[in-house]
Amino acid sequence: MSSPHPNSAILRRLREKQQTQQTRIHVEPTEVFEIPEDKCGLVIGKRGCKIQKIRSEAGVGVNLWDRNSAVDGMMKVYLWGDKKGCDKAKKIIMNLISESTEVFEIPEDMSGIVIGKGGSKVKQIRSETGVRVSLGSRDSALNSMIKVTLMGNKEGCDEAKTIIMNLISVVIKVFEIHKVMSGVLIGKGGSKVKQIQSETGVTVSVGSRDSAVGGMIKVTLIGNKEGCDKAKKVIMDIISEPTEVFEIHKDMSGIVIGKGGSKVKQIQSENRSNN
C-alpha cells in the first residue's frame, strides 16, 4: 500500500482553511473580542497546539485573523458555538494572555541544575511553558537561597514552577554492584565517576571493596530524580559489558601483573589483536 503523497497533507490543510474562511463569511460569530497582537502566540501555541486545545476543551470554534490584520496593536478573536462554550473559551484565552509574576526561592547550589549548560535548561523551560525565567546570581544569595522570578500567564508560571521544583528535588537512590566492577566504575583517579557526575549533576558514591557483603557493594546517588535515573543507567551500561570473573591465589598476583604492569598490558594488547 503506497504512502500518501506529502502534498496531500498541505492540500487538506488548505481546504480546511478555505472552509473555515467560508464559515466566517456565512455564519455570524457568537462572540468577538480583542487581544493584544503580541499575545496571539500564547493563544495559538506551537503549530496551533494551544488553539486546538481550547477548541477541544470548550467545544466551540475559535479563530484569529492574520497578525497583519491587527489595528492599533489589537487583534480580533472570533468564537462560534453555544454561549456556555464560548464563555469557557474566552476565559481560557484571557487566562493565557494575562501576565503574572511569581517569585520563589531555591538553594543556590541548585542554580546550575535549573540553568543548564549554556542556559539550555532555562531555554527549554521557556520554550515548553512560554514563561520568562530569571534566576538571581549566587552572589545575591541570602541564607544560601536565591530568587527565581517567573513572568508569563498563570498557567505557564504554574507549569514552569513545577518543572523547576522537580529538577531540584533531591532524592537518594541506592543500589548494588559486584565489587569487582568498582574499579571499572570509578575509573583511573576517579575519572569515570567524575565524568558521570559532570554529565548528570548527581553525586556518585561507591562503597569500598572491604565493605562488600556477599561480593556486592553499594552505589549511592544523590541529586534530582532525572539526574539519578540517568546516572544509574550510565552506570549499569558501564558494568554490563561482557565480563568474566575468576580467582587466583594472592601470591600469584605479581606474576600476572608483571613488572610495572607489563604482563597485564601484554595480555590486554594480545586480547585486542585477537578481537
Do residues 123 and 115 lie in contact, with contact meaning Cβ atoms separated by under 8 Å? no
The per-type count for the chain, helices as H runs and strands as E runs, is 12, 9
Q: Tell me the DSSP string of 191-256.
A: HHHHHHHHHH--EEEE--GGG-BTTEEEEEEEEEHHHHHHHHHHHHHHHTS--------GGGHHHH
Identify the architecture of domain 6-97 in CATH: 2-Layer Sandwich (3.30)
Range with the poorest average pLDDT among 39-48, 85-94, 233-242, 245-254 = 245-254
Greater confidence (136 vs 153) lies with: 136
Do residues 159 and 106 lie in contact, with contact meaning Cβ atoms separated by under 8 Å? no
CATH H-level superfamily of 100-168: K Homology domain, type 1 (3.30.1370.10)
Alpha-carbon distance 226 to 163, whole Å?
Answer: 11
pLDDT, residue 1, reads: 47
Domains 6-97 and 170-243 share a fold: yes
Helix (H) or strand (E) holding 172: strand 170-178
Please state the domain extents for the chain: 6-97, 100-168, 170-243
Q: What is the torsion angle, in degrees rounded to the nearest 10, for the CA atoms of residue 90, residue 95, residue 98 and residue 103?
A: 180
User: 110 Cβ partners below 8 Å, 6+ apart?
Assistant: 167, 168
The CA-based diameter of the chain, rounded to the nearest angstrom, is 95
From residue 137, alpha-carbon distances to 111, 161, 234, 274 in Å are 9, 18, 32, 55
State pLDDT tens for residues 57-84.
999 999 987 777 778 888 889 999 999 9
Do residues 123 and 163 lie in contact, with contact meaning Cβ atoms separated by under 8 Å? no
State pLDDT tens for residues 4-59.
555 556 555 545 554 454 444 457 888 999 888 877 887 888 788 889 999 999 99
- Beta strand segments in 15-163, E: 31-36, 61-64, 74-80, 100-107, 132-135, 145-152
State pLDDT tens for residues 246-259.
677 777 777 878 78
Task: Give me the percent of the chain exceeding a pLDDT of 90.
Answer: 25
- Helices 49-58 & 83-97, crossing angle to 10 degrees? 150
Alpha-carbon distance 103 to 148, whole Å?
Answer: 6
Alpha-carbon distance 139 to 101, whole Å?
Answer: 23
231 falls in which pLDDT band (50, 70, 90)?
very high
Q: With CA atoms as reference, report the closest residue to 101 among 61, 51, 161, 190.
A: 161
Q: CATH 3.30.1330.60: does it fit domain 170-243?
A: no
State pLDDT tens for residues 115-150.
888 888 899 998 888 888 999 888 888 888 999 999
pLDDT, residue 111, reads: 86
Residue with cell 568474566: 244
pLDDT, residue 18, reads: 46
